[in-house]
Structure 1
Amino acid sequence: MSDVKKVVLAYSGGLDTSVIVKWLKETYDCEVVTFTADLGQGEEVEPARAKAQALGVKEIYIEDLRETFVRDYVFPMFRANTIYEGEYLLGTSIARPLIARRLIEIANETGADAISHGATGKGNDQVRFELGAYALKPGVKVIAPWREWDLNSREKLMNYCEEHDIPVDFAKNKKKSPYSMDANLLHISYEGGVLEDPWTEAEEDMWRWSVSPEAAPDQATYIDLTFERGDIVAIDGQTMKPHDVLSYLNKVGGDNGIGRLDIVENRYVGMKSRGCYETPGGTIMLRARRAIESITLDRESAHLKDELMPKYAELIYNGYWWSPERKMLQAAIDQTQGSVNGVVRLKLYKGNVIVVGRESEDSLFDASIATFEDDAGAYDQKDAEGFIKLNALRLRIAAKKGRLDD
């Protein structure tokens, strides 16, 4: 292991990654650089600096990446109306390529020859971090302690802290949440605890970002979202940066009981996993995006996007953000967004996101054709007869041959 001289660690400042700092030094006799990203997880990241310093770390990176995260990762993903297995809005998945990119960039800046992370050997995140790292720096060494050590319980981690004088302030005294949680500006996730039984309902006090729909206000909230080239640029006429858009939508959505999700998903590593998610802002964005595209996108473009979306979602979920096929799909998706401009009005009420209006200068909706009233000759209904007969031709031929019999 002497070939590893310096490692860049994705560091949260929590129990696991604090142990990893010491374990890397002991096991690999190497220098450790820590990297902590503020992706809008709702907790202060600056305390990680003092914790890293107490562990003897000399090079400490703490960065506010909220704007980059939403502008360059969340928004491009949402242009595809991306959703995994019909429900999951990919809040954890989309954060990993950005973290992987910064790990590699910092490794290059500091002359490190390895990176490390605290993802377990059972989850998807190990795949996402490492696929991203190898795509960006093929020769990098990746150290995944959970696949190497035997510290596979909280008790063992706490004992390690005691034996090595690791100053983890909550190792003994702070009550640990029964859930494994991950948060960023797009969502917060919950796994473990009672959630490991798919039949057991999640406890109400687990949820952190939203009120229950039953407790949401009796008065509906209306908001107007302005789109330019497929991205939200203003709310109620006020221009906002991407990360401020998502922060605002998280707040107003959570206040109205929007965005809770309880699913069993198929992990890339092969197992099924039950998780609960709060994605209030993302839930609102997805509904609004489909509404603005409904009047601005050509039918076949919209339908083709819907056909491509499951593959695009699978690529992101499985960690292939940096792959050539994801980039190819992204280029095709972005090509459709030039006309996705306008305003969508939404009604938020007790867990529901209801589209009540949409308008655009690029709208393809023509009231003179779609009307049920006199269309003044804008549409000749007699044309439909030939259209139907031509489309029925193959069915009629097959029926004569008995091919359509039950």
Structure 2
Amino acid sequence: MNNLLANWWRSQKFNQAVKSQNNRLAQKLLKEIQNSGAKLSWQEKLYKEWLQLEKLLQQKNNRLQEGDRRLAELELELGFGKIDAFPGDIDDLSLLTPDTQFIEVISQSFKLKECDASMIQCTGIYEKVFDKFEQHLAGFIKNELNNLSRKKTNFDSLLQQAIDDIQKLKEGQDPRYSFELSPHIYLMRYFLDNVYCAYLAWFLIYKAGLLPTKVNILDIAAGPGTVAYGLGLFLQTINDFCLIPPMHISYYSLEQQKAFQYRGLQFWRQYMEPHEINAYFRFDTSSIFDGESQSRKIPQNFFDFIVISHCFFNDEDRREKSHRIYKDIFTDCLTDCGYVLLIIQENKLLKPYNIRQNFLMMWG
């Protein structure tokens, strides 16, 4: 009984340490919990996984620093000054210069408030962009469902199947997303919110001066291309506000359900292409769990950004397996100066810590 009480008390102290962002104490308590032989709670497992990812990040940063040191030594040996870019690659390395007035407009529209160094509160929306986007999306979904209802005698049954499947998200389960009308229900229930998150993520990347004019993106579990829509709408906003250099987006959509990709591309052609967003799409309908046969398809050392938007599983086994796969993809497919962008729902990972609803992490 004393061991049970001691383990319970350590877990309570651990949760408080995480909430107060006292990482040194949290790591100490986690080590004590592991040494005691007690079974880790899912919060403790999550924190352990986060520490492992942090270690992976530090190892990559160390490799980059070692590369910079060797490059500096080579420059000294050859008598060169600082090398800003290799000949012929200047365009590839150019970044958009943040416009302070544009940043102020977006910050005010979304009512962004920097609560501390790692937390931004957002309570607004840029209505000029999102009202129009929502109206066109509603019209697209309405037309699709009207056409299907005329063609499918079992339309009501198909609709209920998709609704019941996606409803699993609120019940702490993983939907299959494999029903005929799953893309339509997703577009109605979650697409706008997720595009909103992606838009803000790209804004923060732009504000930090990290958005290239030529950007290669790998979107894991891409759905209908939510991340591409967020970037497309953001670039549309910039173009309406100020002149920017020509942009080129290479977007690799890794999504198991091809119906999601198809519906996303349909709507893109109707709504985004008229805005002359210069984007090249490559669609891959593999599953991340397909193993080596899937990973060999993805270009190596190519992507400026690898994005995982909300694809974090409730099932513990699939979650742990997916995390291992994500690490391998990050290591193999990012450029040396690339970033990982995670957009995570509160009800998947953050709610137990009472931190915030959505947040952005970028790893170099």
Length-normalised TM-score, structure 1:
0.22
Higher relative contact order (CA 8 A, sep 6+): 1
Q: Computing the radius of gyration over CA atoms, which structure comes out larger, 1 or 2?
A: 1
Considering fraction of residues, name the structure with more strand: 1
* Greater fraction helix: 2
